[in-house]
Structure 1
Amino acid sequence: MSRRRSLHPEEEELWKAVARTAKPMHAPIFRRKITETPLEPPVTPFKLPSAPRIAPFRMGEKPATPQPKPVAASGLHMDAKAFGKMTRGKLVPEARIDLHGMTLDVAHPELVRFILSAHANGLRLVLVITGKGKPGVDSGPIPRRSGILRQQVPHWLRQNPCAPAILQVTEAHLRHGGSGACYVYLRRSR
């Protein structure tokens, strides 16, 4: 990249003479008066935010403790202590259903029957095993997902008739199946 240098007076006169004789190759879209001084970009004023997003902090000072999120905002609908035990695998499921090898049209009614009967019997924590799915041969340009039951079960649990009976759905701990299973924490039956 070459550096620009200022023109000597003789060079500047020569340049102006050449520029006067030059003809444009194309008709200009709009006419603009060419000035000798380069135009500066418009300056937009910088506006400071009205309130800082975080509290002021000085080196060596302890940061302010963050406010706990409300339970609804964090997606937690059950007791935090029980949720912690459940995600660490400390709570033992009271019942389980294994959907391995079932097709969608067989698995859906079985799951609904299982959830509703567990809720009617007063169970609180059940385990739904879907499996991780077989990695199939992906020969097409559009990738196919493996584990259709693993993808459909959370949708089925959020729909009627199961949704009113369910308080929380979470991926199971590794000892209970990991990503191939999910915990379903049921509401108390009334």
Structure 2
Amino acid sequence: MRRERFHGLASLAQLARHLREQQALRAAQEQAAREAAARREAERHLFARSVGAVTALKTRNLAHLAPARPEPLPVQHWLDEAQVLRESMSDEFDVSTLLDVDDQLSFRRPGIGTDVTARLRAGRWSIQRQLDLHGLRVHEARETLGEFIRQAHKAGLRCVRVVHGKGLGSPGKAPVLKSRVQRWLVQKSEVLAFVQAKPADGGAGALVVLLAPMGRRQV
């Protein structure tokens, strides 16, 4: 009986010691939290304490500047360029008298020899860029082709391919764009010659176009 009582008292003493330790730990944690909060508050008011009292200015003395105006867009210039492009590539132009009468109706500008179209047809110039006109309406194809030729010449390219299609998906299976593309290309001063593409490059559905060197246009 006495031994059991002794063990009970020991357990109570151990429990009391554990509770005191937990209480001391919580007190230390709370103290650390308070000190950290005090440091943060002191840092937040450090500038104000260093500068001292501040008096607001009676007059703000600010300059009132007009907002900067955006750069004007050259809309008229764009419209003029588009108009020139439309006028320089007419659907009324008769191209038949300028095409070489061969199986492929190639074109070479006056002063360009037949050897040039022969080399172009043989692939002596590598194709540097391509334009595919499939799916475009006639007016869209004309403007797209004109811009493509202008940009290619400006970039210094010499040989490009224009895919106009064979007309298999058109009413009557007629190539709607083929003759128009030939007509438009002849009117572009950057174009020196063109031939029908080799079968591997599109055959009757494409043209290989030779452009004038950069900085030079034919008239």
So what's the TM-score if we normalise by structure 1?
Answer: 0.51
Summarize the Cα distance change of 1:115–1:82 in structure 2 as closer, same or farther, 3 Å threshold: same
Corresponding letter in the other structure for 2:185? L
Q: Which of residues 200, 204, 207 in structure 2 aligns to 1:182?
A: 207
Aligned to 2:196: 171
Q: Is the 8 A contact 1:128 1:182 kept in 2?
A: yes
> Following the alignment from structure 1 to structure 2, what is the Cα–Cα distance between the partners of residues 129 and 137?
19
Identity %: 29
1:86 aligns with 2:120: yes
Q: Is the 8 A contact 1:89 1:176 kept in 2?
A: no
Q: Which of residues 113, 135, 149 in structure 2 aligns to 1:101?
A: 135
Q: Is the 8 A contact 1:89 1:175 kept in 2?
A: no
Corresponding letter in the other structure for 1:105? H
> Following the alignment from structure 1 to structure 2, what is the Cα–Cα distance between the partners of residues 127 and 174?
13
Q: Which of residues 165, 168, 175 in structure 2 aligns to 1:147?
A: 175
Q: Which of residues 156, 163, 166 in structure 1 aligns to 2:184?
A: 156
Unmatched 5+ stretches in structure 1: 1-72, 139-144
Summarize the Cα distance change of 1:135–1:168 in structure 2 as closer, same or farther, 3 Å threshold: same
Corresponding letter in the other structure for 1:166? V
Q: Is the 8 A contact 2:128 2:159 kept in 1?
A: yes
1:79 shift after superposition: 6.1
The RMSD of aligned alpha carbons is 2.4
CA offset digits 1:160-189 (Å, max 9, x no partner):
xx2x11100111111111111001100112
Higher helix proportion, which one? 2
So what's the TM-score if we normalise by structure 2?
Answer: 0.44
Paired residue secondary structure (1:148) = coil
Unmatched 5+ stretches in structure 2: 1-99, 102-106
1:158 shift after superposition: 1.7
Paired residue secondary structure (1:151) = helix
> Following the alignment from structure 1 to structure 2, what is the Cα–Cα distance between the partners of residues 87 and 133?
22
Q: Is the 8 A contact 2:108 2:192 kept in 1?
A: no
Paired residue secondary structure (2:145) = helix
Aligned length: 109
> Following the alignment from structure 1 to structure 2, what is the Cα–Cα distance between the partners of residues 97 and 103?
15
Paired residue secondary structure (1:101) = coil
